[in-house]
């Protein structure tokens, strides 16, 4: 990450870090935490779509296995992680809108928070 920061000339670098600043090894590298707090059914739908848009002989089995794990423990783990990250989030975005609208909103928010 430090190498990426030193080589990058962009104003912002976006990373997907499911734990926000909660991991000590990442916290010093993160200026803002933006939590995309989407409904669980939307997250699950996207995972299923990902498996069906790139089908292979194991797609149905993979979806079934994922759903078993989701019902057993994935859902609870996700909810717990989101609750932890929410505490130290700088922006929580929980509207269900297009990706373009999310990007515009977050971009405007970041610009308004620049020093």
- Which pTM value belongs to this model? 0.76
Stretch (H or E) spanning 91? strand 91-93
* Alpha-carbon distances of 108 from 59, 68, 104, rounded to whole Å: 39, 39, 6
* Alpha-carbon distances of 30 from 35, 36, 76, rounded to whole Å: 13, 16, 26
pLDDT digits (tens, 9 = 90+) for 30-83: 889 999 999 999 999 988 888 888 777 687 888 899 999 999 999 999 999 999
pLDDT at 11: 75
The DSSP 8-state label assigned to residue 93 in this structure reads E
pLDDT at 76: 95
Sign of the dihedral defined by the CA atoms of residues 38, 41, 46, 47, in that order: positive
pLDDT digits (tens, 9 = 90+) for 74-114: 999 999 999 999 999 999 999 999 999 999 999 999 999 87
């Amino acid at each position: 990450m430090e190498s990426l920061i030193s080589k990058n000339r962009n104003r912002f670098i976006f990373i997907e870090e499911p734990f926000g600043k909660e991991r000590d090894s990442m916290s010093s590298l993160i200026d803002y935490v933006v939590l995309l707090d989407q409904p669980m059914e939307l997250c699950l739908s996207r995972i299923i779509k990902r498996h069906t848009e790139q089908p292979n002989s194991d797609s149905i089995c993979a979806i079934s296995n994922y759903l078993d794990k989701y019902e057993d423990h994935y859902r609870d783990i996700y909810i717990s992680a989101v609750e932890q990250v929410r505490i130290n989030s700088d922006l929580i975005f929980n509207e269900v809108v297009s990706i373009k609208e999310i990007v515009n909103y977050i971009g405007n928010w970041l610009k308004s928070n620049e020093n």
